[in-house]
Amino acid sequence: MLINEIRPQLMPFQYPWAWDEFKNLCKNHWLPQEISMASDIAQWKNQGYLTQDERHLIKKILSFFANTDVLVGDNIIMAIYKHITNPECRQYLTAQAFQESIHSWSYSHIVESLSMDQQEVFGEFKKVGTIKDKHDFQAQFFEGILNEGFTTKTKEGRALFLKNLCAYYVGMEGMQFYSAFVLLLNFKRRNLLVGTSEQLEYIVRDESLHCRFGTKLINQYIEENRDIWTPELKAEVSKNIEHVVELEDAFVADSLPRDILGLSRSQFARYIRYIADRRIESIGLDPIYGEEETPFPWMNEIMDLPKEKNFFETRVTEYQTGFGLEW
């Protein structure tokens, strides 16, 4: 069982898929300071590279990212890990929490390298606005699990815990992160902010693994708790996904007041709905928006295909440590 079962021994595995996902995650290791930010610094300081609208967008995205990985990490350690008692799943969760810390370091490294106002960027989520709205929506699912009386031994508690898993693995890591990724990675297609984008490419690969594990975890949890997976809870999860889409629409309207080269608000609207449909289908629910094709096929290439680069110019972001390589 995933919950309510104390099982101190790791082997034999109850969930071999969780152990496989843990090993896949451990193949990936990188550090932000290994990536050169020299060209990014020059482009940020020189007014000829980026328009004011583009600078506004970049700051907004970094303000969103600056605290979200902290929230995700806190949720893993203080909420999910506490109640998912299976050992191999816990192995994965600790590895994921470490990666979220690396991601937080990466965003801090970018902000510091570009000499941005740290208080402005890292304090944005506390102010009234679209970033705070996104933060507060996710935080409610985390705070519900932290309540002193919470337990997964009641039907209501098990349902609330499932809503937490869906909110974080589907809504935040599966949707909100990807919408921000596509906004920022668009600059690399114009040879802008290459160092920042290279770090984002590493993070995208990490997050794709987090989403895959989260989807499997949710489906396993549902399989073991069929009594809570009622039409009412399914409708509530779907409604939460719709609200995430609304929050992303508002965030982009705030961050991208006018279209920029290679990116329009109408394209983004299609993309977040395409992502929403794929995520909700992955946990056995019907798609909401009917978006069958992504307007940004290059994002699939970033997530799925190996990178061939000049080794002396930049690192290959399709990375694995030595023990994970096949000869």
Whether residue 146 contacts residue 165, with contact meaning beta carbons closer than 8 Å, is answered with: no
Catalytic site includes residue 202: no
Q: Is 143 annotated as a binding residue?
A: no
Q: Is the pLDDT of residue 269 over 70?
A: yes
Q: Which candidate in 15, 49, 92, 107 is catalytic?
A: 107
Cα gap 98→116, rounded to integer Å: 25
pLDDT attached to residue 275: 95
Banded pLDDT at 306 (limits 50, 70, 90): very low
Average pLDDT over residues 114-133: 90
The pLDDT assigned to 314 comes to 45
pLDDT tens digits, one per residue of 209-226: 999 999 999 999 999 999
Nearest to 275 by CA among 203, 172, 201, 202: 172
Residue 102, pLDDT score: 96
pLDDT surpasses 70 at 304: no
**Other beta carbons within 10 Å of 49:** 18
- Please, which residues bridge with residue 260 across strands? 263
State yes or no: 173 annotated in a binding site: yes
The values of phi and psi at residue 260, to 5°, are -120, 170
Contact 113, 40 (CB under 8 A): yes
Residue 120 is labelled as binding a ligand:
no
With cut-offs at 50, 70 and 90, classify the pLDDT of residue 29: confident
Q: Which domains does the chain have, with CATH numbers?
A: 51-319 (1.10.620.20)
Tokens of 71: 């929230």
Which pLDDT score, from 0 to 100, does residue 311 have? 36
Residue 113 tokens read as 């390298």
- Residue 5 pLDDT grade (very low, low, confident, very high; cuts 50, 70, 90): confident
The tens digit of pLDDT for each residue in 97-116 reads 999 999 999 999 999 999 99
Tell me the pLDDT band of 319, cut-offs 50, 70 and 90.
low
pLDDT (0 to 100) of residue 327: 38
What are the backbone dihedrals phi and psi of residue 164, each rounded to the nearest 5 degrees, phi first? -65, -50
Residue 207 labeled ligand binder: yes
Residue 149 has pLDDT above 50, yes or no: yes
Adjacent-strand bridge partners of 263: 260
Q: Is the pLDDT of residue 145 over 90?
A: yes
103 is in an annotated binding site: yes
* Residue 223 CB neighbours (<10 A): 11
Q: Quote the Cα angle for 182-188-192, to 5°.
A: 130
d(C-alpha 195, C-alpha 200), whole Å: 9
Residue pair 175/241 in contact (Cβ under 8 Å)? The answer is yes
In angstroms, what CA-CA distances link 138 with 73, 82, 141? 13, 18, 6
Residues 40-90 have pLDDT tens digits of: 999 999 989 999 999 999 999 999 998 898 999 999 999 999 999 999 999
**What single-letter amino acid sits at 292?**
E
Distance CA 274, CA 293 (A): 7
